[in-house]
Structure 1
């Protein structure tokens, strides 16, 4: 149990670093291209969200891959494909039932689920941050009409 917790914690940290790298890449790409899109707010927002979605999707699947490798390494599954599937089901918190896990490694599935909850929340926070960064532009653009006093 201590081994499973330790290994699960290490894989959770790896997952966190994958998402940190993705967040840094998103920030650098969006910031570098912002000046090219300043006049076209809608286009920049669409482009930013698309880039962000692609980068975060790669990060999420990279994290699932690491968990899948752990499932395979621990012998919970017979091949990596099943490990990836099991990790994806755990990571998305869908769950595949306790019947498919060995009793001595029951801690790994819930740790993958906890990591998934945190990383999906992280991805949602990045999405909200990008949207909030664009909202003032759209609000001020709509408020340019003269008011009647």
Structure 2
């Protein structure tokens, strides 16, 4: 049980670092872009939202891949594809899809789910931030 907890928290930490890297990448990409598109507010909002969505989606896919690697390395699924499926199911909090050997570990699934909830919340917060930063300019063009 302690081993599962240590493994799960370690993967969660690495997943958080991936999300942090994605967030920092957005900051690096969007700051110069913001200055170039200062007067094209509609296009700027669209590009900012699309970029945020794509970067965060890529981060989620990488994070699920980490969980899938862990499941596969522990032999929690019969096939590698099943390990990634189980990781997606847990990370997105859909529940077990019959592909993970639940009896062998009781903590990795819930830890993957908790990690997914937190990372989806982080992504949602970034999307809200983009809208908050750009929406006032959108509304000002209507006046």
- Structure 2, unmatched stretches of 5+, are none
Kindly state the Cα deviation for residue 4 of structure 1 after the two structures are TM-superposed: 0.1
Shift of 1:102: 3.5
Instruction: Say which SS state the counterpart of residue 141 (structure 2) adopts.
Output: helix
TM-score, normalised on structure 1?
0.90
Q: Are the counterparts in 1 of residues 89 and 97 from structure 2 also a CA contact under 8 Å?
A: no
Aligned residue number for residue 108 of structure 1: 108
Q: Over residues 64-116 of structure 1, what are the superposed CA-to-partner deviations in whole Å (9 max), with x where a residue is unaligned?
A: 00000001111101232111110001000001167842423111011100000
Residue 130 of structure 1: aligned partner:
130
Say if 2:28 is the partner of 1:35: no
The higher radius of gyration belongs to: 1
Q: CA RMSD in A?
A: 1.5
Does residue 26 (structure 1) correspond to residue 45 (structure 2)? The answer is no
Q: Residue in 2 aligned with 1:89? A: 89
In the alignment of these two chains, the number of paired residues is: 143
Gaps of 5+ in 1: 144-149
**CA separation in 2, counterparts of 1:98 and 1:118?**
24
Q: Normalized against structure 2, the TM-score is what? A: 0.94
**How much does 1:39 deviate?**
1.0
